[in-house]
Structure 1
Amino acid sequence: MRKRLIAGVVLALVIVIGVGSVWARDTPARQSRSEACLNPAAGISIKSSLDKRDACSRLLRDRRLSSTARADAFAQRARAQFDLRRPELAAADLGEAIRLRPADPALFALRAESYRRMDRFARADADAQRVVALAADQPASYVLRGRMALDLGRADRALDDAATAIRLASDRADGYLVRGDALVAGGRFDEALAAFDRAIALDPLSGAGYGARAHAQQMRGDLDAALADIRRAIGRQPFVGLWHAYEGDILRYIGDLDGAMKAFNDELVVHPDFGYALVGRALTFERKGDIAAARVDFERALRRSSDIWDNAASARETARARLAALDSGAVVPATIPAPRKAENATSLPTPTIAPPAVVTRPTAEESKAVVPSQGRRVALVIGNSAYRNVPALPNPQKDAAAVAAVLRAIGFDQVTLTIDADRAKMAEALRAFASDAAKSDWALVYYAGHGMEVGGQNYLIPVDAALASDRDAPSQAIALAQIMAAIDGARKLKLVVLDACRDNPFAPAATADVGRHVVAAIGTGVGGASATRSAGRGLGEPTLAGASLVVFAAKHGQVALDGEGGNSPFAMAFAQRIITPGVEIDKIFRLVRDDVLEATAGRQEPYTYGSLPGREEFFFIAARR
């Protein structure tokens, strides 16, 4: 649900592909086959979808079909494949139908939804653009394109499309739902709630508006209101399993583990292969300390999860990472219940505990037993707290010190810790680190402090920065491109970890002449007067090449929450998870993501950009023979 359910609700674009009389002289047998395939009402259950798919396959073997009838048969078989959670087969059939009938917007719309199910968002967006070109007078065209824009992280485009849909049909709820989703993505929660209120008023019998409003309430930290709304959604659409799974998540977040278990159990009775619910129940078992039961559900999610409601792939990623962590023998990190209603918009309670004890650095003899050899590893860790022109940030220096300690403990050959660096000090640290990186296999930079995006470029903010406008960023800050250049000489792995995507005290000045160009920055806060770590909303997506990863504490367009204990939620999760032996680095960051989602009640989702070559695995602590 978190991956693609931007407002806690999936809106299905229901496309009925109508057909006329395509055979003038049919035999009764052929009429029966054609009716089974081409009847738009068929396919409302798994069995009827299977029957439709098979009938269409038989019909398509008839060489006497006209091109119009063949297009209809491909389209209806695609509809059945889509309902059977086979979007790749649906997309292939729709390609054939589009070849035969290239001006039908319904075909492009269903193929867009099929590509979306496969996470092929650029292709989905291209098809949505085609739908608008072919049916520019239909509000549903803009609803579809707006939702695809949200998948691409383009909330601005989604808002524009929602406005057009509402202008064309102000009495329809779906335009307001897309508008609300886009406003949630931009952190404009009060405006989003107003949009969802309007959607509910227009369609009070649907659960969609309540599910969307529940997500907005969750993201603003009001879990009681979110729980009330998701239960209203269930009351109106009890057959939508996603609502039950969402209820289970919220109950787990607030620590009602028995209530969460009941919600997941009730859903899994109806949809036993719903991967998202299986993983949700497994996470609840983990919280209860029943690791054996958690393992069973994670394994079931890998073997049997279906693509119901678009989140099976995400569920499988979580299941693989959690199973790897359980196999390592590492202790599952504790998660404290989230507050039912957040008292602070930018922070939340975190445990005031030191990073966990880790294995000591292996001896030379022990190193020979490590599989595979990790080579020489170096790290530069920066924590900027004592800002001179904005409120000080208590946590970054603590986060940096904790991360540096753990990196040393797990065997990094050199760890340089820099606290409260001005621009000159940061630049010098990067120059020195570039020399170290060129002689190493791994080069890692961890940064905690302020950050911002200006004009598509990400910047890290030194403690002496004085930003009067966005034009000051290149001269006052350190570009992410400079960080990437410093680690570029590493022979194997280049890794940047940024706990720097929070609401920014520079924002009022820095956004004065930039409008929509300043998207985000980085900060941290304590108590009622929070300092924060971002200018606008979130850092921008970086462009990477080679064996490089950039990990953001919060995904593009989102802000990171700070901890009211000793460390931020992200720093705690990172420090706790990198000590897990025998789990490769992609799974480690999946574990970090899931732990932060749990700790923040779904309000913050870390995101990893980049990829690693498939020929070699990387481990913070490798398994021993």
Structure 2
Amino acid sequence: MLKYKINLALVFWLISLSAFAQFKLYERGHDSYTAGKYEDAIRNFSEYLTKYTRDKSLDVEVYYLRALAYYKSNNFKDAVPDFEEALLLGHANKGNIYWFKAKCQAQNGLDKDAISDYTSALRELGSDKTIKAKLLYERGLLYYKTGNQVAAKEDFQTGLLLNPGNADLTREFNKLGNVTIAARNTQEANSSTSQPVIKKDETKVKEDNKVKKSEPGGTTNTTPVTATSEPAQPSLAEFYKDEKRYALVIGNAAYPKNIGALRNPVNDATDMAKELQASNFEVDLLTNATYGQMRAALLKFKDHIESSDPEKTVALFYFAGHGLRHEDENYLVPIDAAVEYEDDISRYCFPAQRMVLANMERSNARMNIMILDACRNNPFPALNRSVEQGLGEMRRARGSFIAYATAPGSVASDGNGRNGLYTQELLKAIRKPGLTIEQVFKEVRANVLRLSGDRQNTWDSSNIIGEFYFKFK
């Protein structure tokens, strides 16, 4: 027993020593960045990120500072993915991150992406008039470069309303003197400016509502008002007509031999995207996606839901492909995942809870739906000791509905037809009008259980408020 206690103490001491050494890497990276030694900062931060037992709560700051170090070293290409990682991990300084990312995209010749990032920066930093004018100036230059002179002049004009007399804005605006633009809503430039509310004369309203009839003998009587029926209740389609629906759908099948190719996910994702479009979703579909492609698509998805009215927005994420559970996190496997060792999982696979669900929840959309048909066999059998079977149940916040192809800790078959069994039955249930989301997934569960001979039990967990219908009556 004494020997056991001594060995255990030694293990804890070694772990503590390792954690301290890794934190020193972070400190050296931070100190190097502050001192303007950007190459040293990049080297220390990069080494820190390879450490399996590092404090992952620091990752968001490490990616941000390494991105800035790349930016200040004029390495704009490598700065972009690090800025994206910092955004996906929820860095508090996201307005400036979008601004730096926009500058990098412009330097990389990706003007369309740069304009999109400037738009996101304006959304986050628009309360400061001086900063907003600067952003509009820089976005306007990109619009001009890409041939959109109307949009360029609109940006320069709005910038001048915010910062009158600015020499750069005045110069660029005057260059476009012959370009005609539509009348602008100056409320964007000055939120305190508002149009007067025109009220109908109350006396006239009363007279309009009082219908009179002249009777013989000089008397005037009010015409009896005919009773009207109660107004009809709006239909489900009318009630939800202003709802904005966004979906990111990913299907990965073309994995290399060491991971194992799958038969159905591309078909599953393609058919799901088509069905969601028929249910009024704006859908971004990816098939056989790399880590970088998944990250870029998620950022676009994040921007969509963050820029919409949260009380009228529904966000849906669907993934079909290889998935695994490691250290209390579910990971989605891109087709280029180069996983040889345990610490490669967090670097080359996509954390569903920490990046996907967390960003959906931060948007405050009224409902976030995550559907994971990713409970197949372990894609990395060499790491059997550290990779748990199937996926695990994830923590959920208000307004989240999370659906799994099978129960936590279990696996589902890939399927023999066009679609996997789970998605096959989900597509059928979605097409039925008038079903709430809970009714849809109950029907899926019953059918999958029946068709699998009680071997595959689907699973969902919910903390939603309000109702959702894929199809209205």
Shorter-chain TM band: 0.3 to 0.5
The structure with more radius of gyration: 2
- Under a length normalisation based on structure 2, what TM-score does the superposition of the two structures give? 0.47
